[in-house]
């Protein structure tokens, strides 16, 4: 997708008033909610009057917070981006909303009674290893994994689990971490959760609510000094375009492709998530770090699985980026972007 086409896609979704109100756009069903993206030559302008940052915050290193549902999500979604920003001297924190207690063992080598009996502890240890590999700090939000209900219709999630905890409770918990870490940028999932797991959808809801509440002194006054993040992105994973690119490259190299059958079954009416992408981060140098972090979650990742079937040299040549959708923006920027801190670096530079 070219820059002009991408900008037109963004313009079609939402417009933003200069005073910060969100006007329904023709592509969002008349609903407010995509605050921050304006329809004016692909520019993103100040949604509210973002005050100048304090002297303490005028540092070379900026702060990025990635909010995820379960341990391992941070390594399969945006891990190379985080490793890149850590290497560039920025601070990165992963917030994991649940402990992943309800996760199944997806790696046959780890399907052992001792692991099953201590699943919560094992996943905490895996998360600690992954965070160390990525160079990020980490916080547990402390909620219980809701599991993925199966059936038609699916049964309700367990009482007290993350997906059904009152939104105010989980929002306050995330606001506390935001006010402590004081991120300039946040990443989370889109309104569909990336895929419709109840914890992923709840992570989206909590992230959006906390982004809006963290800077408001009237919201959760006991949760720390107010702090307003300046940008929020949805992280986007595999797209049809990416699968096509890998399928083509593997076949050209004489290698088997795991994507052929997947692409044949792709619903032709299903839009490609690339249509929503506003920001592509060049991070191919950190794909190996991403893979090592992912393998640290040994209960969830089989090292012989299709996660690792595309050689890194092909990945780096064919698709060297990770993709994001800018959803909230309180600084000036221009789409498309190649840096999550666009508009913020300029604001805090001496």
What does each C-alpha distance from 257 to 172, 244, 251 come to in angstroms? 45, 10, 7
E strand or H helix at 196, and its extent? none
The reply to whether 70 sits in an annotated binding site is yes
Residues contacting 201, CB < 8 A, separation 6+: 163, 189, 191, 192, 193
H helices of the chain, where? 3-13, 73-76, 79-87, 113-116, 119-134, 167-181, 198-213, 240-252, 260-264, 287-296, 312-318, 345-348
**236 carries a ligand binding annotation:** no
- Residue 60: the pLDDT is 56
Rounded Cα distance, 93 and 68, in Å: 11
Look at residue 42 in the predicted model and tell me its pLDDT: 40
E-strand spans in 3-84?
14-16, 22-24, 43-44, 63-68
90 is in an annotated binding site: no
Whether a cis peptide bond, with omega within 30° of 0, leads into 312 is: no
Q: According to the model, what pLDDT value does residue 33 have? A: 29
List per-residue pLDDT tens for the chain, 350 residues long.
333 333 333 333 322 222 222 222 222 332 222 233 333 234 343 333 334 444 454 445 899 999 999 999 999 999 999 999 999 999 999 999 999 998 889 999 999 999 888 999 999 999 999 999 999 999 999 999 999 888 888 889 999 999 999 999 999 999 999 999 999 999 999 999 888 899 999 999 999 999 999 999 999 999 999 999 999 999 997 799 999 999 999 999 999 999 988 898 888 888 899 999 999 999 999 999 999 999 999 999 999 888 899 999 999 999 999 999 999 999 999 999 999 999 998 777 54
Sketch out the chain's domains with CATH numbers. 1-11+37-47+57-240+275-334 (3.40.50.10320)
Select from 226, 142, 220 the least CA-distant residue to 182. Answer: 226
């Amino acid at each position: 997708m070219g820059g002009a086409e991408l900008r037109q896609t963004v313009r079609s979704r939402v417009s933003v008033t200069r005073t910060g109100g969100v006007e329904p756009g023709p592509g969002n069903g008349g609903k407010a909610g995509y605050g921050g993206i304006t329809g004016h030559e692909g520019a993103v302008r100040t949604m509210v009057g973002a005050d100048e940052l304090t002297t303490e915050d005028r540092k070379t290193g900026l702060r990025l917070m990635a909010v995820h549902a379960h341990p391992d999500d941070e390594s399969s979604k945006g891990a190379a981006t985080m490793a890149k920003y850590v290497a560039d001297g920025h601070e990165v924190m992963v917030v994991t909303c649940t402990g992943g207690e309800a996760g199944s063992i997806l790696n046959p080598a780890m399907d052992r009674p001792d692991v099953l009996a201590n699943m919560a502890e094992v996943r905490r240890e895996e998360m600690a290893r992954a965070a160390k590999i990525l160079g990020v700090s980490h916080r547990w939000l402390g909620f219980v994994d809701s599991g993925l209900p199966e059936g038609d219709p699916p049964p309700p999630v367990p009482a007290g689990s993350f997906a059904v905890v009152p939104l105010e409770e989980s929002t306050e918990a995330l606001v506390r971490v935001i006010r402590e870490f004081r991120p300039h940028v946040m990443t989370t999932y889109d309104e569909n959760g990336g895929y419709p797991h109840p914890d992923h959808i709840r992570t989206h809801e909590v992230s959006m609510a906390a982004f809006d509440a963290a800077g408001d002194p009237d919201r959760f006054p006991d949760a720390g000094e107010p702090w307003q993040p300046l940008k929020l992105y949805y992280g986007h994973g595999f797209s049809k375009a990416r699968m096509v690119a890998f399928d083509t490259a593997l076949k050209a190299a004489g290698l088997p492709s795991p994507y052929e059958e997947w692409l044949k079954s792709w619903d032709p009416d299903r839009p490609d998530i690339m249509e929503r992408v506003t920001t592509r981060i060049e991070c191919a140098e950190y794909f190996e770090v991403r893979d090592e972090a992912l393998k640290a979650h040994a209960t969830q990742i089989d090292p012989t699985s299709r996660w690792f079937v595309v050689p890194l040299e092909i990945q780096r040549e064919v698709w060297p980026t990770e993709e994001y959708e800018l959803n909230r923006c309180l600084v000036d920027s221009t789409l498309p972007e190649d840096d999550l801190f666009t508009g913020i670096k300029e604001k805090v530079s001496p």
